[in-house]
Amino acid sequence: MKLSELIHSRQAKIGIIGLGYVGLPLALNFGRKGFKALGLDVDKTKVDAVNAGRSYIEHIPSAEISEMKNKGLLEATTDMSRAKDADAIIICVPTPLTHHLDPDLAYVISTIEAILPHLRENQLVSLESTTYPGTTDEELRPRIEKRGFKIGENFHLVFSPEREDPGNEQFPSHKIPKIVGGTTPACLEQGRALYGAAFETVVPVGSTQVAEFAKLLENIYRSVNIGLVNEMKIVADKMGVDIWEVIHAASTKPFGFKAFYPGPGLGGHCIPIDPFYLTWKAKEYGIHTRFIELAGEINDHMPDYVIRRTMEVLNLRKKKAMNGSRVLVLGLAYKANVDDMRESPSFKLLDQLKLHGADAHYYDPHIPVVPPTREHKEWTGHKSVAWDEKTLRSYDAVIISTGHRAYNLDQLVEWCDCIIDTRNTLAGRNTKPGQVTKA
């Protein structure tokens, strides 16, 4: 039976490699549509959690995982040889940057190498990990063809960029249009069938390169505009102008303007990383992407700006140096109301505070303990401080890095006399003169 027929009859088993913020919701999406989903991950703790019906991602209820598991629609394993059991295999592994801002495809390459011996005819492999244009064709296709498969005939290969936005209740993943590019027209047809079974809208494009490029453009668009507004924030601060009021005024224009907001830096799995994938690939064609790199440079230096402003506030208003001061960072997650801390600028703030001799801590109700991370191992095991009057009053300065709804802002304003607000969280609050500095 053809893959498209298996999909149409809900007999296809969907293998998903990587059970993180992208892979787990994807597995649940297919499970809700009646497909059996097989999750594969090298992290045994995630596999054990799924098989126990327990969530490890805050915005995904354990009940959803347990329900799919009890229906026989979801299981997980660390055994990559189980890839042979899947009719479609979707790869959702990290694609970070090296310390030199070059693409690091180690997870993608190790994944395809691990499953290669177990691939069989009439399967489909889809790469969802964000990467530079050409990756699917240059890295995955030759390895699969080396096994003797003929892409587009007895094996299918597509690229479909993930567009997951953790915690976005307005746009759950199945409602976000799914871009799909095939290595051949036949591959595209199978890819459309696969994703059309779990997503409301599928957007077919002419090649895997177009699909890869589209994902980069989406996030480069955001990176450049955030870089612009971050730069304008610095100028506005120097002029004594409230950039947040400026943005609100400009956003009243009903055409030609989209509001972007400044912050302490960029976080998440996409915007701080994706632009450099295109920058790196463009060099192969002799192109220097100055606009992209400039935005990346501005955004990357925003934590430094916040620390400088904190130093100024401590000096001018408290007559204290950063060295020896107690500073609390509010929010470890990269965005509000989630537990996702990938590439969070809060880590850079904590690093800089520590470097300048401050006694630095964090508070985040979504992340009570810092789990192991690739980039910030020194913070592993650190605990969120308690939220009480004695604790908060003990800090010389508080930096609002992430604007969680869970904060009691009335208590914050009552207990803390020196607040650096990077997110305009305290807008409209009745605060004392000089108590809040926007940065």
Work out the angle at residue 101's Cα, subtended by the Cα atoms of residues 95 and 102, and round it to the nearest 5 degrees.
Answer: 60
Name the helix (H) or strand (E) containing 42.
none
146 Cβ partners below 8 Å, 6+ apart?
A: none
**Are 133 and 281 contacting, i.e. CB atoms less than 8 angstroms apart?**
yes
Within 10 Å of residue 258's Cβ, how many Cβ atoms? 9
Helix spans in 140-207 (H): 141-146, 185-196
Please give the structure tokens belonging to residue 217: 């453009």
Query: What does the alpha-carbon distance between residue 396 and residue 236 come to, in Å, rounded to a whole number?
Result: 26
Which residue in this structure is represented by tokens 């598991």?
69
Measured between alpha carbons, how far is 43 from 38 in angstroms, rounded to an integer?
15
Alpha-carbon gap, residue 7 to 103, rounded angstroms? 34
State the DSSP string of 119-143.
--TT-EEEE-S---TTHIIIIIHHH
d(CA 242, CA 226): 17
- Contact present, 219 and 275 (Cβ < 8 Å): yes
- φ, ψ of residue 378 to 5 degrees: the values are -65, -15
* CA 431/CA 361 separation, integer angstroms: 24
Picking from 390, 402, 399, the residue whose alpha carbon sits closest to that of residue 419 is 399
Where do the H-state alpha helices sit in 123-207? 135, 141-146, 185-196
- Residue at 378: amino acid letter: E
Q: Which of 14, 351, 288, 60 is nearest to 160 (CA)?
A: 14
CA atoms of 374 and 274, how far apart (whole Å)? 17
The runs of H, that is alpha helices, within 129-206 are 135, 141-146, 185-196
d(CA 341, CA 371): 10
270 annotated active-site: yes
Which of 92, 270, 416, 418 is an active site residue? 270
Distance CA 317, CA 305 (A): 18
CB 358 within 8 Å of CB 313? no
Q: Which residues are catalytic?
A: 270
